[in-house]
Structure 1
Amino acid sequence: MDLTVADPKGLIRESYRIEGITPAECRSIFMDWALSLPAGADPHEAMRVVLAQYGTDEAHPMSVILTEGLTRRAAGASRRGGRAARLGP
């Protein structure tokens, strides 16, 4: 994946340039970044690309957020309710 696809708005790049950025600010930027990915783009691949390009400082809050995004999976991510769940198949 190309860096221009992985970080189309340059949000991750800019987050690494902000001095004293907090983890909360990085999470907010991460959400905006994830929503700005092109349709059909693999977010995990995009995280790998931007982390390889910008994440040389493993202690930077954005590096931590990206690494967590790659290692954590949504536990039990399934539909939990609604009319169809109540009525059955």
Structure 2
Amino acid sequence: MKGDGNDPKALIREAYLIEGIGEVECRSIFVDWALSLPAETDSAQALRVLIARHAEPAPDHPMSRVLREGLAEPRIKGRRGGRDGRINRNGAR
């Protein structure tokens, strides 16, 4: 099932359809969602859209809590680690 730019793999949408899902599973799905976002996506804006779409109609769902916490947490700007973290702007290691 395909999603949109805010939920590319429809992971968040599907989480709301799983009966009896818990917060631990929602956190795991949230991490998968975050990793599936294209680098140019503003994750805070995507979270605001997903909260309006899913969390507001289902405020007691565990994924609603996870989405709100994700928006409240400070974000790290840019990627860290990996090859890009070891090479400076001039291409030297």
TM-score by length of 1: 0.76
Q: Which amino acid is 2:50 matched to?
A: V
User: Which protein has greater RCO, CA pairs closer than 8 Å, 6+ apart?
Assistant: 1
Number of aligned residue pairs: give it: 73
Residues 16-62 of structure 1: CA deviation (Å, up to 9, x unaligned): 00000000000000000000001210111111111111111111000
Query: Which residue in the other structure is 1:53 paired with?
Result: 53
Distance in structure 1 (CA, Å) of the matches to 2:42 and 2:18: 26
Bigger helix share: 1
Distance in structure 1 (CA, Å) of the matches to 2:32 and 2:71: 17
Structure 2 unpaired stretches of 5+: 81-93
Shift of 1:13: 0.2
**4+ runs deviating over 2 angstroms:** none
Query: Which residue in the other structure is 1:84 paired with?
Result: none
Query: Which residue in the other structure is 1:68 paired with?
Result: 69
Distance in structure 2 (CA, Å) of the matches to 1:4 and 1:18: 19
- Identity between Structure 1 and Structure 2 (%): 55
Distance in structure 2 (CA, Å) of the matches to 1:16 and 1:65: 12
Distance in structure 1 (CA, Å) of the matches to 2:66 and 2:32: 13
Distance in structure 2 (CA, Å) of the matches to 1:73 and 1:57: 24
TM-score by length of 2: 0.73
Query: Which residue in the other structure is 2:84 paired with?
Result: none
Alignment of 1:10-89 (within 5 A): 10-55=10-55, 56-73=57-74
Q: Which amino acid is 2:38 matched to?
A: P
Distance in structure 1 (CA, Å) of the matches to 2:36 and 2:73: 21
**Structure 2 SS opposite 1:12:** helix
